[in-house]
């Protein structure tokens, strides 16, 4: 029989005390369900992250694992220009060392929850003989003009990203990035966002989501793509560009706006928002990479979960 302080109920009580509450939380952790006071429209997103795929237990600090598991969901809310209202967290913990691992995970989870105004309002905890699996679901509400989708890009639109890309995995930036919630809302207030998503699988892959949803094409200016300093500067430029296109897990925002609104953003960027204009939408479906004197089709790169 484990000591009382190691019991599931003791653990839930500890998490409930640490999670606190928020203005939209009518009922939080401890009941059969949480009760959130939200607008009539609700954004819902969920991600499952696994040891050996999205992080490596023993190599990645536990608090950064917990942080990432919440951050990737908050990034999805940002991609819709939304505001998070609450999160539920489910853990499948390895039996050996599970309690210490859970405590580390929640250090990172609760810290980011407080920073982002997204209270953790419930979830589930289990243990098994397998590796760590974490599932987080975040609820949110639209802001401003409503939810921004991937489907509104138009020929003539300018394409932007909110920061440099590439090299996120070796640097652990995939665990420490800041979800672009405030940037998305600032942009949403300033201009009409025609389409937007967050860069999770890689620029060369995620572009196709907008292309297919909006039924447009995109021409990328190879010289305008911002390459992150985490990509080794000693590599040939072509290799560094390939990292920027394909590495993934940058979690910057990729968005499309009219030419007029693009000029507004470039001349008067909203406070604190970093902006890079990297291309244009065109009528012809597909994605192309423009060099100084070339135009070539760009295939899907980046990450893809494969199964049979």
- In this prediction, residue 172 carries a pLDDT of 93
Binding-site annotation: residue ranges: 32, 45-47, 54, 76, 106, 123-124, 150, 198, 200-201, 249, 303
SS3 102: helix
* Residue 17 confidence (pLDDT): 73
Question: What are the pLDDT digits (tens) for 1-12?
Answer: 455 455 666 766
- Detail the residues annotated as belonging to a binding site for Mg(2+): 32, 45-47, 76, 124, 198, 201
What does the pLDDT read at residue 195? 98
Q: Give the pLDDT band (50/70/90) at residue 299.
A: confident
Q: Find the mean pLDDT for residues 227-235.
A: 94
pLDDT band of 227, cuts 50, 70, 90: very high
Percent of the chain with pLDDT over 90: 80
Domains and CATH numbers, the chain: 24-142 (3.30.1330.10), 158-295 (3.90.650.10)
Q: What is the pLDDT of residue 263?
A: 97
Cα–Cα–Cα angle for 160, 165, 166, nearest 5°? 155
Q: Are 8 and 102 in contact (CB under 8 A)?
A: no
The rounded mean pLDDT for the chain is 91
**pLDDT tens figures, 164-190:** 999 999 889 999 999 999 999 999 999
| Confidence band of 30 (pLDDT split at 50, 70, 90) | low
Mean pLDDT to the nearest integer, 69-83: 97
Q: Answer for the pair 34, 86: CB distance below 8 angstroms, yes or no.
A: yes
pLDDT at res. 20: 67
User: Rg of the Cα trace of the chain?
Assistant: 21
What is the reported pLDDT for 53?
94
pLDDT of residue 197: 97
Annotated binding-site members for substrate? 54, 249, 303
Which SS3 state, helix, strand or coil, does residue 188 take? helix
Mean local confidence (pLDDT), 227-233: 95
Strands laid side by side in the 120-128 sheet:
43-50, 133-142, 82-94, 120-128
Pairing of strands 158-161, 276-282: antiparallel
Predicted pLDDT of residue 22: 73
């Amino acid at each position: 029989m484990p000591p009382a302080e190691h019991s599931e109920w003791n653990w839930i009580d500890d998490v409930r005390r640490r999670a606190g509450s928020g203005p939209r939380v009518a009922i939080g952790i401890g009941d059969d369900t949480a009760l959130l006071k939200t607008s009539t429209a609700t954004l819902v997103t969920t991600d499952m992250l696994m040891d050996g795929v999205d992080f490596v237990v023993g190599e990645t600090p536990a608090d950064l694992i917990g942080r990432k598991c919440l951050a990737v969901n908050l990034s999805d809310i940002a991609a819709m220009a939304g505001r998070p209202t609450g999160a539920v967290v489910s853990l499948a913990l390895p039996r050996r060392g599970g309690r210490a691992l859970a405590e580390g995970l929640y250090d990172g989870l609760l810290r980011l929850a407080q920073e982002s105004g997204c209270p953790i309002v419930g979830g589930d905890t289990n243990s098994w003989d397998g590796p760590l699996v974490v599932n987080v679901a975040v609820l949110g509400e639209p802001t401003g003009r409503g939810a921004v989708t991937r489907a509104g890009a138009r020929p003539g639109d300018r394409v932007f990203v909110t920061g440099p890309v590439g090299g996120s995995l070796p640097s652990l930036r995939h665990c420490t990035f800041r979800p672009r919630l405030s940037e998305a809302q600032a942009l949403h207030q300033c201009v009409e966002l025609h389409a937007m998503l967050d860069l999770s699988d890689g620029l060369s892959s995620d572009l196709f989501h907008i292309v297919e949803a909006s039924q447009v094409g995109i021409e990328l200016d190879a010289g305008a793509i911002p390459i992150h300093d985490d990509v080794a500067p000693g590599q040939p430029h072509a290799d560094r560009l390939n990292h920027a296109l394909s590495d993934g897990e940058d979690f910057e925002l990729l968005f499309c706006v009219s030419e007029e609104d693009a000029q507004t953003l470039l001349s008067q960027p909203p406070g604190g928002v970093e902006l890079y204009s990297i291309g244009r939408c065109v009528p012809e479906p597909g994605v192309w990479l423009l060099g100084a004197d070339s135009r070539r089709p760009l295939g899907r790169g980046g990450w893809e979960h494969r199964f049979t």
